[in-house]
Structure 1
């Protein structure tokens, strides 16, 4: 088949859709305090604004990729766009916490259709290797820059319009992309064995939901409560059943051979740990900036810009060094930088300076993460068979999103427990003067933030240890490039 003469226009449409998906992973972060206050969401439950999206998105990405391949990539892409717009409208109109959580979950569901369809459309649209590399470069740039745009846009919309516009802004973007995609994007689909692994998708998603919900119940009922233990035990059973089913079915959602390569398995573990540590950090830093320091949503969004810029700059450096140094050296240096930067944040107080206490950590951490992200994607895709390239690529995004879901729930629980413990230990101080109770709450929040940042540092340290212990960095590894049909992961 000759190259599609409108392929570059099609790429523009696909890139816009990808930008929308990436934006949604960060744009809502800045609006969290406003949304929590407007809808009277408890501290224990506020993490579901983030987690409901990342959990369904990450949990269904692999299944969404299969649907795109079998049902039709263009058709799935269009359905994903319309569904994402509808879910955004529901979230923007939410009058209570349940509606907002449900809307965010629906956004994740349709995002799980949209993202893999977009990746596979690029693969089948650009068949010439040089052009495909250019197309993936554009796609990767959108994915990396989208996080920065989302943080800034979230601040602008929350400050000058309303937090609801952080969701409603998706509607015109999705509609325009839908209209443009109809004439510009070609349809394609896989043939042959096109059976869906529905039991695998149900078990995997249910297991992840049970795990996150178990962490959430720990914040309100305690780690030793029957409800918490029941949900966590259910998660172990469901995820164990998923692995058992995948080893037995003839058309697995996740072929286990993809996991058993030492370097690839290590990259997935690192992806989970980093997703957990980073998204948890963003959650608490947003509340620290707005509720403790009293910053506006816009000022908070601008404060994150050096972090996003540092990741992009470091990614450029890492892509040039990777062929010479291999993945292990870059990921080790990056992990150590990120861990040290997170430890630095545990020193925050009621009146910490952004210039001396936060900015240096953001710069060092972002550079460290950039040094990790590029080789991690290469490590996960190098040496994989062509027919497994799609699932191996999707697994990088899946593990990062699932790690973010679990980390946000776990760290929010740790934060809530730490705050409650601090208030109990210092309750006598609350009666000393009229303003003592308010000051106690402020100090308790600072204590909770620092404990949560300590937990994030431990997660990043574990990821670094996994790199040191598990990753093999031979000269052959340095020369290996990702499979042709693989697509770059994004860490928005």
Structure 2
């Protein structure tokens, strides 16, 4: 690509020749790329605005989980139709992320960020006022599309506002901590709002937050876009978007109806074919949506694999422990949701710790150490029994598992977005966000399928057995991530020629 991106406030110019040789996982502290690595007042304000928006988006992924039965009763959803409240959102959030990330590169990340927030606020208001299943599902689709636009745009604005080095690592650490904490906060907040007010407030809560960000952001965030607008790779955009929709739909359907379901298999097959078409297209168009040289970087390719595994494992663990606490221990939805506050504290602690580990040791250290910590404390959950006293094991295990998971998430974000020029940050953050959304979307249906296949009944003991098997699978996936980082990212350098 021959376009150049003006440097936003707080960023330093990125030279492809120099950034291409940046190590993916340095074994020494990351050097400062700016003569001024101080967090100025303006940068603090930019960071606050972007983090508030990202936290709100993360909350949306889980805030309706506890409220689904109430929504079904209130609007007349069928039992089979209830899943589409979550699925319609997840399909759009995951399927359109890469597309909107690249659109932000072409027409301006700030523009996409603000437009997406406006749509999110309007869709949340419509969802809260909905009087029929059709209106609610339409609102959830709009929320998903807005999330697909705002998340990569916000992350791109963050990475281009903060120079590569300690400041960016700190910003990404805080972003990762709040994103993960937002997911667990959503489970707690959804239960509280539904019990004390109404499920409608799970939608309404977004409106004032979106409005506040829309009022402040235009004054503090500067636009970031290329000087010359390249052509959009429409065949690539269509094939990757439809392919991701097929994969996400197939896996979600399999989680609900089993892996032999015809529609699930059709979705998976169609998605795989379309993604193969996408790969074929990208190697032949003049201006590809995802330039092949970017995916050839070990930091980008393997970093995003680690991102998918990190989000698959932690978000699905929330689902598994919800089943355990409600079906085996007999806790209420609200009690189970509040228990995840400990996990949220662990993720915040991990997000604050990760930049220090990366600065003093390396990104690889954060990935491997975090993965090992998460593996150990996930495996500890295999000891859980049928009495409420086992909560004394569950709570510290989820706290320390959350610390480890956040070390991996921040390490993944730094790895997958480092060594690329500013003009490709939208693509890099779009890929990273897509990995995040896919991981969040796939974790629950995959683990649900494991529980369903192994539990065999709905008794407390049977559910515990199914959850235990799924926890073992979860821990094994985390360990796979550790091995990937240790083997494929050790001492690797990004290829030149970016």
If the length of structure 1 is used for normalisation, what is the TM-score? 0.79
Give matches, 1:101-140, under 5 Å.
Answer: 101-122=137-158
Is 1:81 the counterpart of 2:90? The answer is no
Distance 1:228 1:149 in 2: 31
Give matches, 1:184-199, under 5 Å.
Answer: 185-187=221-223, 189-199=225-235
The answer for the alignment partner of 2:245 in structure 1 is 209
Distance 2:297 2:163 in 1: 28
- For residue 169 of structure 1, report the CA deviation from its aligned partner: 0.8
Contact 2:160 2:422 in 1 (8 A): no
Distance 1:357 1:410 in 2: 25
> Aligned match of 1:327 in 354, 363, 369?
363
Distance 2:247 2:442 in 1: 7
Higher relative contact order (Cα pairs below 8 Å, separated by 6+ residues) = 2
Cα distance per residue 1:186-220 (max 9 Å; x no partner): 55543313322232222222212222322344356
Distance 1:375 1:131 in 2: 14
More helix per residue: 1 or 2?
1
The answer for the alignment partner of 1:453 in structure 2 is 471
Contact 2:107 2:225 in 1 (8 A): yes
Contact 2:77 2:133 in 1 (8 A): yes
- Per the alignment, do residues 145 and 408 of structure 1 end up closer, same or farther by CA in structure 2, a change over 3 Å counting? closer
Distance 2:288 2:476 in 1: 34
Is 1:295 the counterpart of 2:331? The answer is yes
- Per the alignment, do residues 325 and 444 of structure 1 end up closer, same or farther by CA in structure 2, a change over 3 Å counting? same
Is 1:469 the counterpart of 2:497? The answer is no
Stretches of structure 2 that go unaligned for 5 or more consecutive residues are 1-6, 11-40
> Aligned match of 2:203 in 164, 167, 172?
167
- Per the alignment, do residues 462 and 34 of structure 1 end up closer, same or farther by CA in structure 2, a change over 3 Å counting? farther
Distance 1:173 1:86 in 2: 12
Contact 2:371 2:482 in 1 (8 A): yes
Contact 2:92 2:144 in 1 (8 A): yes
What is the SS of the residue equivalent to 1:28?
A: coil
- Per the alignment, do residues 467 and 97 of structure 1 end up closer, same or farther by CA in structure 2, a change over 3 Å counting? farther
Contact 2:172 2:410 in 1 (8 A): no
Contact 1:17 1:174 in 2 (8 A): yes
What is the SS of the residue equivalent to 1:105?
A: helix
The answer for the alignment partner of 1:309 in structure 2 is 345
Q: Kindly report the root-mean-square deviation, in angstroms, between the aligned alpha carbons of the 2 structures.
A: 3.6
- For residue 314 of structure 1, report the CA deviation from its aligned partner: 2.6
The answer for the alignment partner of 1:68 in structure 2 is 104
Cα distance per residue 1:205-238 (max 9 Å; x no partner): 2212222322344356543454443322212101
Contact 2:127 2:140 in 1 (8 A): yes
Is 1:344 the counterpart of 2:362? The answer is no
Contact 1:337 1:368 in 2 (8 A): yes
Cα distance per residue 1:219-265 (max 9 Å; x no partner): 56543454443322212101111111122222222222222122432
Distance 1:274 1:136 in 2: 15
Contact 1:70 1:191 in 2 (8 A): no
Stretches of structure 1 that go unaligned for 5 or more consecutive residues are 424-439, 478-492
The answer for the alignment partner of 1:480 in structure 2 is none
- For residue 144 of structure 1, report the CA deviation from its aligned partner: 5.5
Contact 1:292 1:442 in 2 (8 A): yes
Distance 1:173 1:323 in 2: 33
> Aligned match of 2:441 in 405, 423, 428?
405
- For residue 392 of structure 1, report the CA deviation from its aligned partner: 1.8
The farther-off stretch of 343-352 and 60-69 is 343-352
Is 1:392 the counterpart of 2:428? The answer is yes
Distance 1:74 1:382 in 2: 21
- For residue 83 of structure 1, report the CA deviation from its aligned partner: 0.9
Is 1:53 the counterpart of 2:110? The answer is no
Cα distance per residue 1:313-348 (max 9 Å; x no partner): 233333223244333343223222222333333444
Give matches, 1:39-50, under 5 Å.
Answer: 48-50=84-86
- Per the alignment, do residues 187 and 301 of structure 1 end up closer, same or farther by CA in structure 2, a change over 3 Å counting? same
Q: How many residues align?
A: 458
- For residue 180 of structure 1, report the CA deviation from its aligned partner: 3.9
- Per the alignment, do residues 348 and 373 of structure 1 end up closer, same or farther by CA in structure 2, a change over 3 Å counting? same
Contact 1:311 1:369 in 2 (8 A): yes
If the length of structure 2 is used for normalisation, what is the TM-score? 0.79
Contact 2:371 2:405 in 1 (8 A): yes
- Per the alignment, do residues 286 and 43 of structure 1 end up closer, same or farther by CA in structure 2, a change over 3 Å counting? farther
Contact 2:447 2:470 in 1 (8 A): yes
